[in-house]
Amino acid sequence: MRLARFNEGHIGIVIGDEIIDVNDLVEHELQAWPIVAMNRLIAQFDHYRPILEKALNRPRIPLANVKLLTPIPASSKVIAYPINYHDHAAEMGREVKANNLGFFLKPTSSLSGASDPIVLPDLPDRRIDHECELAIIIGKRGRDIPRENWKEYVFGYSCLMDIVVRGKEERVARKAYDTFCPVGPWIMTADELGDPTQLQGRLWVNGELRQDANTRDLIVDIPGMIEIASHIMTLEPGDIIAAGTPAGVGPIRGGDQVKIEFERIGSMTVAVEQSRGGKASIFKPSIVE
Ligand code: MN
């Protein structure tokens, strides 16, 4: 099942290129903050699944006529594994990889959706890059999860772009801007996706293929990422794990169109906009040593 959020925050089921509004079956407090309808749906999916399946004969709305939102705006955390493909480690000249580094966190305020632009800060001297990543959506609370139990804790998958200002400042600050974590276009549930260990992911900028890799080449695999993170933090329904990027990262600029696709999940194309904000004082022009 493909689960999405759209328009004013309605929950929907995506079938082909259409969406069915099932919001009345799930959540009524659209405007209440934090926006946890999807977290609750994920946490109680065994209860909701038969209810949602009965709604599949409802009228369908063309996806082209709706605004797709980020699926889990109130995820309790976005866990991101850096340097998790050997070819990306090589292009960045990095010796230490995710199996020793572990992970960092992106703020949930950086999440955006398929219909939202990536808004670049006004840092003309700095390179701002795309990273193409698989998003793993946690389905069940867990701590100290042994790797062999990983499947119990995965709800589904999505496409994720980890956007970053390159530089030597604290990584989290460089990756925390609003809209620097597009996730979407929806969540594909794990039961329908099948085996996630052989998934091809691709990213294009203005139609030019920049990244093209398979999850079989991950350094820390999906069970390993769940095992590592859960030995440090309690994982919660709706938590997002960004699996790391393969080689081919590169700059994006205002006016660009960035497309991401993972097979058996879907694709989304997001626009890039240049803003005049975001000039944090930590970002000095190139330092002369
Ligand atoms: Mn990344």
Residue 196 CA to ligand 1 centre (angstroms)? 18
Average pLDDT across the chain, whole number: 95
Question: Residue 265 pLDDT > 80, yes or no?
Answer: yes
Going from the Cα of 286 to the center of ligand 1, the distance in angstroms, rounded, reads 23
* Rounded Cα distance, 9 and 23, in Å: 9
CA of residue 262 to ligand 1 center, whole Å: 16
Task: Give SS3 for 38.
Answer: helix
Q: How much is the pLDDT for 286? A: 58
CATH topology of domain 78-274: Fumarylacetoacetate hydrolase; domain 2 (3.90.850)
CA neighbor of 265 nearest in space, from 194, 204, 203:
194
Domain map of the chain by residue range? 2-69, 78-274
| Dihedral (CA of 138, 141, 142, 143) sign | positive
Main-chain phi, psi angles of 220, to 5 degrees = -95, 120
CA 1, chain centre distance (Å): 18
Query: Residue 281 C-alpha to ligand 1 middle, in angstroms?
Result: 24
pLDDT tops 60 at residue 106? yes
- Which tokens in the block code for residue 167? 């530089």
Please give the distance, rounded to the nearest whole angstrom, from the Cα atom of residue 110 to the centre of ligand 1: 13
Centre of ligand 1 from the C-alpha of residue 162, in Å: 5
Q: How confident is the model at residue 227 (pLDDT cuts 50, 70, 90)?
A: very high
Q: What's the CA gap between 235 and 42, in Å, rounded?
A: 13
Average pLDDT over residues 36-57: 96
- Taking a 5 Å cut-off on Cβ, the residues next to ion ligand 1 are 131, 162, 245
CA of 230 from ligand 1 middle (Å) equals 19
CA distance 192 to 263: 12
CA angle 170, 171, 175 (to 5 degrees): 125
Q: 178 vs 36, 58, 104, 255, CA distance in Å?
A: 19, 35, 17, 18
What's the rounded mean pLDDT across residues 261-274? 98
What would the two tokens of residue 145 be?
A: 């999860």
Q: What pLDDT, in 10s, does the model give residues 129-179?
A: 999 999 999 999 999 999 999 999 999 999 999 999 999 999 999 999 999
Pair of tokens at residue 20 = 């069915």
Percent of the chain with pLDDT over 90: 90
Q: Residue 126: pLDDT band by 50, 70, 90 thresholds?
A: very high
